[in-house]
Structure formats: structure tokens, C-alpha cells
Chain A
Amino acid sequence: MVQRTMVIDLDRCIGCKSCEVACKQENGVTLGCTWNKVLTVGPTGTYPKVEMYYLPTMCQECKEAPCVKACPTGASYKNEDGVILVDKEKCIGCRYCMMACPYGVRTFNEETKVVEKCTLCTQLQAVGEQPACVKACPATCRFVGDIDDPNSEVSQVIQKAGSDSVHVLPDVGNKPSAQYILHSNIAKWKE
């Protein structure tokens, strides 16, 4: 099975939001819609003993994607690389998929009246390029590839990090494939 997904190294992420704008530019995302958002987790603790990290959030390319199951028209589907996409010609804008997503990472475009989300830049992948956010990221903290391939860059990055430092978002049976690296000397992962 191929599961193309994103691995993000939170030790490195400096919260500059370059990825947010790169995505907007590459994909023409409307004002008010988001495909990729960087959150600030913390500072937690008590001044001055605090810790903080930045958390880029986007579609977690779940292996058992609830958004795909929920979609009545099949507009929300998983392609042959495991990437979850929205066929905008089929989408009826019922937003059922947005309810089904445990992370709230799909967005409804009020102008086109369909649901949109991160596509891992399939249009760039088609010509051998990295997604826009990966290219732009000043901290080189984003990696995209096949997590089910032990030799892919994402798999190697995960291995190098060590299992103690690899985290996923809450899994309620959806099996998110995206992974986050965060070593405890930077900060403790918050569920």
C-alpha cells in the first residue's frame, strides 16, 4: 500500500507561517479558507519555566479516513497514493465530511460552495516537485513521502527521530498517517 503523507519535525518549526502563505499562493486559497495552519502550543508552565512549540496542522491523510466514508457522493476520495482529495465537481457542499474529520482541517469555500483541503500539492507532485509548503519552509521541517515505504525519506526521518519522539494526533479509529517529531528537550507533546 502506498500512503503518501507529511512528517513534520517540530524541533525545527519556528512558527514563521511561511508555509501558510506558500499554500495560499500555490493553490489560490480564498481569504477566510485554510488548508494549512500553524498553531502555537503554549507557552505551558509558569514563568519563567515554560515551554512552547509550534504545530503546523493540515489533513492527516488518515488511513481509515472518516471524511471519505462520510461523503455521500464520493467526492471525497483517496487516490492511488493514499492522498485524500475532493472532486469539486461532485461535491454538493453538505459539509458532512467536515463534521467527520476529528481535526477540523477541511474548509468550506463560501464562493465556490464546495469543501477544500490540502492536496499535498498533487499538481506539483505530478511534475516531480515538492509541495509548496515543503519547498518554502525556512526550517526545512516538512517532509512528504510514502510512509509505508521503509526507504522513503519520511520513513528515515521518523526512524532517526526515535519512537519516543514521534507523535500522532488523537486517533479515534481514523488512523492518521501524518506524524510529528518532537523531542522532549524542546517540549513535551500535548495531546
Chain B
Amino acid sequence: MSIQWPLVFFTLFVGLGCGTFIVTVLLTEWAGKEKQIRTFSSIIAIAALAVGGASSTLHLGHPERMFGAMAHPSSGIFMESMLSFLLGLAIVIYLLAIKRDASATVCKILGSIGAVLAIALAFVNGDAYVMPSIPAWNTLILPALYLVSAAVMGCFCTGILLARSANHDEAALTAIKKAALLTLAIQTILIIAYLVHIAVAPYPDASRSIGRILAGGLAPIFWGGLVLIGLAVPVILMKKPETSSFPMTVNFGMACVLLAGIAFRVLMFSLGSSIKQFF
């Protein structure tokens, strides 16, 4: 399949938004640290969702009819639209709660609802692509990858918010670095699992083969985009012990995982040939 750029940026930004919100909620509401970043991170989450949503409309032939997308519940797009709307609403309510100095419990509950919705949305971003017609996409590993990709981006984005926050706590930084490494590790395992899926998926074809990924036309994207920029560099960055250069480190790390996120999505589309493509 040709690369659907509007959709690449759609899920990239939605993933960024969801991931940021999830990680922030975990850090601020559940670990109770750095609550000062909550407002800005919620705004970033909404902004990212909005940018992603806008990008998705660029894909449409008739964006002016897009509210019709709420018509058919069996469709993955329906789920995405529904969840996006609900998540946006939840984040707004959460923001209002913070603004109005709601109690910690209330904030935690509202934040968690939002986080759950965000987990669902990030997962559904990938799940919408799971379909028997496209063997390379027909696995739950794919939405899992979308979720973990969101988590990775979320860690780095939250790290940026911490870095720019005036009085951040070293423990929080350490936690974020650990979280980043953990999500990167899970992502790596999932990517390997995905490669296994590609290798054993029914209706094999050269367009969606291991050979093409590891040694063929997609090798630069895989090795360069996913392995080097997406894994090796961020890991090295996150393992750096110093703190003074953390802002630059985490910015650079964010850039890397964003690029890797694009690379992953590009790879997905490139492998997205259907069982038969008669026309």
C-alpha cells in the first residue's frame, strides 16, 4: 500500500497525546509527583489530539461529511472517533477540575478515567488496522505496538515537561528515565514478535516478507528508523546519568522517538498489501 501520510501523522500525534496524558497521570496522580505539569501536559495532550484529528481529515475525500462517521458502530473509525471525542471531553473535565482546585481524589479519578480512555484510544489506533484482508496487519501485536509507541512518546514528552519545569525533583526524572527504558524494552520485544508474525502470516508475499524488512527495500527504515533512531539512540540517551544536560537529552530523545514513530508507521503501510490486489 502506498504510505498514507495524513494517517501517519494522525496516529503519531494521537499517540503522542494519549501517551503524554497517560504517563503524566501515572506520575502526577498515582505517584503523586510534579503535579505542576498537569495543566500544561493536558493542554499538550488536547493539542496533539487536535493536530492528529486534523491530519486525519486530510485523508478524507469529503471531510465536510465526516460527522457521518458516527453512523456505523462496527467500524474501527467509529471507535476512534468516539474515543477521541470522549477523551477530549475527559481531559477538558480533568483540566477544569484542576483549575477549580478539586480534591486530589477527584482529580485522580478524573485523570484515571482519561488515562483509561487514552489507553483505549492508543490501542484502537492500531486495532483499526487489524483486518484479515491485510496479513501483515492481522495481529493484536500491531495495536499493542501502537500503545507502547504512545507510551514511549509519552515518557519523553513528560520528560520534556519535567525538564522545563522550574523545580523538578530528581526522583521524578529518574522515574521517567526508567519508564522510558521500560517502554523501549517492551517495544523492542513487541517488534521482534511482530517480525515473527510477518514471517508466519498466511498468504506470504514478497511485499510483506522478512527479507524485504531486514535486507530489502525496507531495510533502511527498519534498521535506521526503528533500531538505530528508535531504540539504540534513545536508550543511550536515557542511560546517561547526568542531569544538567537532561533538557537537551530529552529533547533529542523526543525527536528520535517521533522520527521512529513515523518510521514505524511508514513501515506498516509499506507492508500493508492485501491478500490479492487485483486493481
Would A and B touch once assembled, by the CB under 8 A criterion?
yes
A99 near B66: Cβ-Cβ < 8 Å: no
- A 76-132 contacts with B by CB, 8 A: 90-96, 99-108, 112-115
**Chain B 68-105: CB-based contact to A (< 8 A → 1; otherwise 0):** 11111011111001000000000000000000000000
A163 to chain B, nearest CB (A): 23
- On whether A102 and B274 interact (CB within 8 A), knowing A92-B63, A114-B62, A172-B133, the answer reads yes
Q: Shortest Cβ distance from B232 into chain A, in angstroms?
A: 32
Instruction: Please give me the residue from chain B that is nearest to A36 by CB atom.
Output: B279
> A77 to B76, alpha carbons, bound, how many Å?
16
Q: Which residues of A contact B69 (CB under 8 A)?
A: 72-73, 92, 94
B144 is an interface residue with CB less than 8 A from chain A: no
| Among A66, A92, A101, A107, contact of B61 (Cβ-Cβ < 8 Å) | A92
Residue of B nearest to A113 (CB): B61
Whether the pair B75, A71 counts as a contact (CB closer than 8 A) is yes
Please report the C-alpha to C-alpha distance between residue A174 and residue B276 in the assembled complex, in whole angstroms: 13
B3 lies within 8 A of chain A by Cβ: no
Interface pair B132/A34, CB less than 8 Å apart: no
Interface: B52 (CB within 8 A): no
Give the residues in chain A near B279, CB-CB below 8 Å.
34, 37, 57, 104-107
Q: Which residue of A lies closest to B69 (CB)?
A: A72
A178 CB to nearest B CB, Å: 12
| Pairwise interchain contact A113-B131, C-beta atoms closer than 8 A | no
Q: Does B30 contact A (CB under 8 A)?
A: no
How long is the Cα–Cα vector from A95 to B133 in the complex, in angstroms? 14
Q: Is the interface of B mostly helix, strand, loop or mixed?
A: loop
Residues of chain B from 221 to 279 with CB closer than 8 A to chain A in the complex:
272, 274-279
Known: A37-B278, A102-B275. A72 touches B71 (CB 8 A): yes
Q: Is B65 in contact with A90, judged by CB distance below 8 angstroms? A: yes
Contact indicator A99/B133 (Cβ below 8 Å) = yes
Shortest B138–chain A CB gap in Å is 8
Q: Is the pair B62, A93 in contact by a Cβ cutoff of 8 Å?
A: yes
The answer for the CA separation of A66 and B133 in the assembled complex, in Å, is: 8
Q: Taking A34-B279, A93-B60 as contacts, is the C-beta distance between A99 and B132 under 8 angstroms?
A: no
| Range class of the A interface residue count | 35 or more
- CB of A139 within 8 Å of the partner chain: no
| A173 interface residue per 8 A CB criterion | yes
**Chain A interface SS verdict (over half):** loop
Given contacts A71-B75, A102-B274, A104-B277, contact A90 B132 (CB under 8 A): no
| B1 located at the interface, meaning its Cβ lies under 8 Å from any Cβ of chain A in the complex | yes
Contact of A92 among B68, B133, B276, B277 (CB under 8 A): B68
A74 within 8 A of B: yes
Instruction: Select one of A70, A94, A95, A104 contacting B276, CB under 8 A.
Output: A104
Residue A160 is within 8 A (CB to CB) of chain B in the complex: no
| Residue B40 lies at the interface, judged by CB distance under 8 Å to chain A | no
Query: How many Å lie between the Cα of A66 and that of B275 in the bound state?
Result: 13
Taking a contact as CB atoms closer than 8 A, the residue among B1, B65, B77, B132 that contacts A96 in the complex is B77
A45 CB, min distance to chain B CBs, angstroms:
21
Are B274 and A101 interface neighbours, CB within 8 A?
yes
B181 to chain A, nearest CB (A): 34
Residue among A57, A72, A172, A174 with the highest chain B CB neighbour number at 10 A:
A72
Residues from chain B with a CB closer than 8 A to the CB of A112 are: 61
Q: How distant is B60 from chain A, measured CB to nearest CB, in Å? A: 5
B164 within 8 A of A: no
Contact of B132 among A105, A113, A115, A173 (CB under 8 A): A173
Contacts of B277 in A (CB 8 A): 103-104
- A159-170 CB mask vs B (1 if < 8 Å, else 0) is 000000000011
Q: Does B150 contact A (CB under 8 A)?
A: no
A90 to B65, CA, bound (A): 7
A72 contacts B78, CB within 8 Å?
Answer: yes
Nearest 9 CB-CB pairs, A to B?
A: A93-B61, A113-B61, A172-B132, A72-B77, A104-B277, A102-B133, A57-B278, A73-B68, A72-B69
Known contacts A66-B132, A91-B62, A94-B69, then 15 further A-B pairs from the complex at CB < 8 Å, ordered by chain A residue: A70-B75, A72-B68, A72-B72, A72-B81, A73-B65, A90-B68, A92-B65, A92-B69, A99-B272, A103-B133, A104-B277, A104-B278, A105-B278, A108-B61, A170-B275
